[in-house]
Structure 1
Amino acid sequence: MHRRQALKTGLGLFGAAIGGRAFAAAEARTIAFHNLHTGESLAATYWEAGRYLPDALDALNHLMRDHRTGEVHRIEPGLFDLMSALRIRLESSAAVQVISGYRSPATNATLHANSQGVATRSLHMEGRATDLRITGVDLPRLRDAAWSLQGGGVGFYPRSQFVHVDVGRVRRWADA
C-alpha cells in the first residue's frame, strides 16, 4: 500500500510504530483528555467507521483551545492519532493531561518573549503540537515512547514536568 493510500484510509503514519499493529480502518479511536489550566475533562471517540467524527473533533478542539485567550483553533487530527498511539504504546488508559494545546500567535509571542524554550514559529500555533503528561507514566518513559513512534517532534522538559509532541518533522530536543 502506498503512503498516500494509507493516509486516505486513515491508517496514518503510526501503524508500524505501535508494535506492528496498525489502526484498522473500522477500529474506533477514543482519547481522554484533562486540561490542567481549565479543569475540563473529555473522553471522545473521534474516529469511527473509517472516518473522523466532526462533532468529536470540535469538542476536542475546544478542550485544546488557548486557555489564555479562549481562542479555539482546528487541531490536526493526526495529533490525536499520535496521542492515541502513544497511549497504546504505553498501555495506558489514563487521560492525557494537556498543559498546552493550541496557542494563538499573541500568546506564543508573549511566551516567547519570556522564555527561550518557546519557538517563534511554534507548531502550537498551527494546532500541530501539544505539551502533555500522562498520569502514572514517568516523564523519561513518556519521552522514550513518544520518540519510538517517530510521528514528529519530541521535546523533553523535566524541570517543567512535561513532554512536547508534534506532528511536524521527526526531531528531538531537551530542555537542559
Structure 2
Amino acid sequence: MKSISRRGFLKGLSGTALGLASVSAFGTQVPLLASKERTLSFYNLHTGESMDATYWADGHYIPEVLADVNHLLRDHRSDSSTAMDTRLFDMLHLLQQDLGVNKQFHVISGYRSPETNAKLRQQSKKVAKRSYHMLGKAIDIRLPGVPLKALGSQARALQVGGVGYYQRSNFIHVDVGPVRAWG
C-alpha cells in the first residue's frame, strides 16, 4: 500500500471521514479529520464578528455555513469576499486537533482584494505581490492560550502549505500553497 503525506492527504480530501491517527504536540493520539463534524470558531479582530461554524458534517461541506465563514473572513477594507479554499479550513481543524485545543482563532487577515493587497504592499515589503490571500487560500491567525511559537511550529510540522511566523506582529500566516516556511 502506498503511503500518503499530510499534504497529499489534504489535497485529496473528498469529503469522507477518515480514521487516521496522529500524535498531537502533547503526545496524545488524535484522529485526523475522523469526526462526523468539523467545527471551527473565528473572531475577526477588525470587524468584531465571531462565529462557531460546523462547516462539514455527514461527509459533506455545508455551503450555507461556508458562505457565512467566507463573509466573516472578507476583506474588511473593501467589504468584498471570495469562496475560501476548504482545504484551509481542514488545515486549521487539523492544527487544532494536533495541538489538542478547541479555541477560537483570532483572524488578522483572511481574504484580501487585489486593491487592498496592493495598498498593503506599498506599506510593507513583507506583503507578497501574488498573495494567496487574494485567492482565498491564506489566513493570518493567532490562537489565544497557545504560544505563537508552538502554533507556528505545529503548523510547519503539518507540511501542508506555507507558514510564516511574524513574532513582532503576533500572528502566523498559513496557506494551502506549496510547502515552505519563513520568519
Report the TM-score, using the length of structure 2 for normalisation.
Answer: 0.86
1:120 counterpart = 2:129:
yes
Taking every aligned residue pair, what percent have the same amino acid on both sides? 46
Partner SS for 1:55: helix
8 Å CA contact retained: 2:22, 2:98: no
Letter in 2 for 1:154: V
Q: Secondary structure at the match of 1:132?
A: strand
2:5 maps to what in 1? none
Q: Tell whether the 8 Å contact from 1:32 to 1:96 is kept in structure 2 after alignment.
A: yes
Contact 1:17 1:150 in 2 (8 A): no
Code of the aligned partner of 1:23: L
Find the counterpart in structure 2 of residue 23 from structure 1: 33
The residue type paired with residue 38 of structure 1 is T
SS of residue paired to 1:145: helix
Counterpart among 8, 11, 14 of residue 8 in structure 1: 14
Residue 97 of structure 1 aligns with which residue? 106
The one of 55, 67, 72 equivalent to 1:63 is 72
Partner of 1:150 in structure 2? 159
- Long gaps (5+) in structure 1: none
Q: Distance between the aligned counterparts of 2:13 and 2:62, measured in 1?
A: 16
Using the TM superposition, give the Cα deviation of residue 150 of structure 1 relative to its aligned residue in structure 2, in angstroms: 1.0
Deviation (angstroms), 1:151: 1.2
Q: CA deviation at 1:99?
A: 0.1
Matches within 5 A, 1:49-88: 49-88=58-97
Residue equivalent to 2:49: 40
- 8 Å contact kept, 1:17–1:149: no
1:134 aligns with 2:143: yes
Measured in 1, the distance between the counterparts of 2:119 and 2:177 equals 22
Structure 2 distance, partners of 1:15, 1:80, is 19
Partners of 1:60 and 1:165 in 2: CA distance: 17
CA deviation after TM superposition for structure 1 residue 45, in Å: 0.4
Matched, 1:167 2:173: no
The CA RMSD measured in Å over matched residues stands at: 2.3
| Aligned-partner Cα distance in 1 for 2:137–2:42 | 16
- Kept in 2: contact 1:32–1:41 (CA 8 A): yes
How many Å separate the matches in 1 of 2:181 and 2:39?
A: 27
Could you tell me how far 1:109 is from its partner in structure 2? 0.4
Q: Select 2:119's aligned residue among 107, 110, 117.
A: 110
